[in-house]
């Protein structure tokens, strides 16, 4: 872990209570800062919060929101629910995989993009849905998907 990363981590521990009840909040803050949960950060969380490392790992694998692998600056999610599937989500996945040279579940080596598929996100009326970081795009034609993803 670099000095800059250690400083970021220290700030997270400084602004949270140092007790086991703060575990999820601390893991969320680490995930937000690093876009995943680095091993060193989880070990430090265990120490700082007085929680067994096994409990930190079990919390980090229980919640889908946490990732143990580095993720891209831009997280591209394609809804694969029924309405989106019927309206061309597969074509969108294909287009994104080809253009970004990545498969679903992968992160680019430059850590710019991660492609994921998700279940119905409850916006079926605007299927197919593409989510770029926190922004929802509806009625996305597959030829627009890459442009939207690259805009971030
Ligand atoms: S199926 Fe995609 S939003 Fe519901």
Tens of pLDDT, residue by residue, the chain (152 residues): 899 999 999 999 999 999 999 999 999 999 999 999 999 999 999 999 999 999 999 999 998 889 999 999 999 999 999 999 999 999 999 999 999 999 999 999 999 999 999 999 999 999 999 999 999 999 999 889 999 998 87
Query: Residues spanned by CATH 3.40.30.10 within the chain?
Result: 74-151
Ligand 1 pocket, mutate which of 88, 124, 138 (most atoms under 8 A from CB): 124
Calpha distance 124→139 (Å, rounded): 10
CATH 3.50.50.60 correct for 74-151: no
Instruction: Report the nearest-CA residue for atom 1 of ligand 1.
Output: 81
- Measured from the Cβ of residue 120, the count of other Cβ atoms closer than 10 Å reads 15
Residues 147, 132: Cα–Cα separation, whole Å: 11
Ligand 1, CB within 6 Å, residue ranges: 79, 81-84, 120-124, 127, 129
């Amino acid at each position: 872990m670099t000095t800059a990363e250690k400083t970021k981590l220290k700030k997270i521990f400084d602004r949270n209570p140092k007790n086991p009840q703060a575990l999820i909040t601390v893991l969320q803050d680490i995930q937000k800062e690093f876009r995943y949960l680095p091993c060193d950060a989880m070990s430090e969380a265990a120490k700082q919060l007085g929680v067994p490392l096994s409990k930190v790992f079990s919390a980090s694998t229980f919640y889908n929101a946490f990732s143990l692998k580095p993720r891209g600056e831009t997280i591209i999610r394609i809804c694969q629910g029924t309405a989106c599937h019927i309206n061309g989500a597969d074509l969108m996945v294909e287009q994104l995989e080809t253009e970004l040279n990545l498969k679903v579940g992968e992160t680019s080596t430059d850590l710019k993009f991660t492609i994921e598929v998700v279940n119905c996100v409850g916006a079926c009326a605007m299927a197919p849905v593409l989510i770029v970081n926190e922004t929802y795009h509806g009625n996305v034609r597959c030829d627009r998907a890459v442009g939207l993803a690259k805009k971030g």
